[in-house]
Amino acid sequence: MLARYDAQNTQALEKLLKTGIQVHAYSQEILEAAEKASFENMMNLQLKTLILKQFMNSGNPLETGCMLGTI
């Protein structure tokens, strides 16, 4: 799947460049900030998924007094 993406991405980029589009690289600072934000988002999603899993496995939340925000 990645090879297919790479092949199509290259073709699309070449097509854009032929129209005169200019491509510029992001600065290292921007790339590092994006990487950090992406990692933090993945960690938050992982935590929320774990909390939701615990919530769903706790039985009937109304019977046990369990609330999603209190686990």
Contact 51, 71 (CB under 8 A): yes
Return the half-sphere exposure (C-beta side, CA atoms, 13 A cut-off) of residue 35.
7
What is the pTM for the complete model shown? 0.50
The pLDDT value recorded for residue 61 is: 53
Does 1 map to a domain?
no
Confidence check: pLDDT of 70 > 60: no
Does 57 map to a domain?
yes
Express as a percent the part of the chain with pLDDT over 90. 39
The total number of structural domains that make up the chain: 1
Does 11 map to a domain?
no
Does 2 map to a domain?
no
Q: How far apart, in whole angstroms, are the C-alpha atoms of residue 40 and residue 34?
A: 10
Q: Which domain holds residue 61?
A: 37-71
Express each pLDDT in 38-67 by its tens digit: 888 888 888 888 777 777 677 655 555 545
Give mean pLDDT, residues 3-31. Answer: 92
The pLDDT value recorded for residue 71 is: 45
